[in-house]
Amino acid sequence: MALTKKTVNWINKLNISLKGKTVLVTGSNSGVGFKTVESALYLGADVIMACRNKKKAEAAREELIKEYPNALIQILQLDLSDLSSIDSFTKNIFDNKIDIDIFVNNAGTFHKSGVTKDGFENVLGTNYFAVYYLSEKILPYLETLSHKVIYCNTISVVHKMAKIDYDDFYFTRKYKHFAVYARSKLCLAKYSYYLSKRYENSNIDVFMIHPGISVTPLGANAFGNTVKKLAGLMKWVFNSPEKSSLSLYYIISKDLQTGSIVGPHIFEAWGYPKENRVRKCVKEGADELIKFSDNEIKKII
């Protein structure tokens, strides 16, 4: 479970510390989110694990405590497939005046048919609309804090392959798992870039991070045991969840412009992180997307 020697050496070269800082990571009981938390603990941070499954989160915390016995790790329940859960999560933060220095939206889903509790298509509802709804609620609170806040949304390298069709936004004509996932991440990238401009004169810096080509429990489990076993045999082809989790710490160590994307440096798919190019598809069309998103959310609430 401990961080590898290569990861520790890479982090040490950044010459950063998170002592006295609080890092909140959604979907952090496994995969890239878990490793993001582990690196934060190594750097001395207090951590909040925002997870859907409290039992799995507790097990993950116990595992982390074995390696970092003096760590302060809090668990908050958050189910992105349910807007009422987001309401409860944010109310908890507001009521208890929880201080947050770094907020990482890592939780998401892939290759999951069906709808959320609020009736959104599962992937678009979880990966985009839930993060949109959460961000609109939490960012005004974070803006009131007296210190700088780093706010990261997790996109995907496949966002650059996606297109948005408002006439068939949910792929009701012909559902394609990969296309739905790619669209959810393009929407999130557009929205994140929009947020970076909206908050550029505030204490909040908004960034996009992505894991490159990585096999996590989320991705492997989505395709069943055969693909899961094949991925295990070919794990050398992919970025490890640990290496994919390091984009946040690259951001902290650099003076990057808000709205930047950080992900693996080899074809934006493999290797340690660096700043990636923000493409035209991300920079344009935000106004139409925001208007559409507001209308879709209003149908629910």
pLDDT at 215: 62
Exposure string for 95-113, b = 16+ CB within 10 A, e = fewer: eeeeebbbbbbbbbbbbbe
Domain boundaries, the chain: 16-300
Grade residue 112 by pLDDT with cuts at 50, 70 and 90.
Answer: confident
pLDDT surpassing 90 at residue 221: no
**Domain spanning 16-300: CATH 3.40.50.2300:** no
pLDDT band at 236 (very low <50, low <70, confident <90, very high): very low
pLDDT band at 226 (very low <50, low <70, confident <90, very high): very low
Is pLDDT of 199 > 60?
Answer: yes
Q: Which of 248, 276, 278 is nearest to 106 (CA)?
A: 248
In the three-class reduction of DSSP (H, G, I as helix; E, B as strand; rest coil), residue 31 is classed as helix
Render pLDDT for 115-155 as a digit per residue (tens, 0 to 9).
999 999 999 999 999 999 999 999 999 999 999 999 999 99
pLDDT digits (tens, 9 = 90+) for 15-59: 999 999 999 999 999 999 999 999 999 999 999 999 999 999 999
Residue 17: both structure tokens together: 């510390």
Angle formed at CA 130 by CA 127 and CA 131, multiple of 5 degrees: 75
pLDDT at 225: 46
What was the pLDDT predicted at 113? 86
pLDDT of 242-290, one tens digit each?
A: 999 999 999 999 999 999 999 999 988 889 999 999 999 999 999 999 9
Question: Half-sphere exposure of 127 toward its Cβ, with a 13 Å CA cutoff?
Answer: 26
pLDDT of residue 241: 94
If one compares 214 and 258, the residue with the highest pLDDT of the two is 258
Per residue in 60-91, pLDDT tens? 999 999 999 999 999 999 999 999 999 999 99
Identify the DSSP state of 2. Answer: P
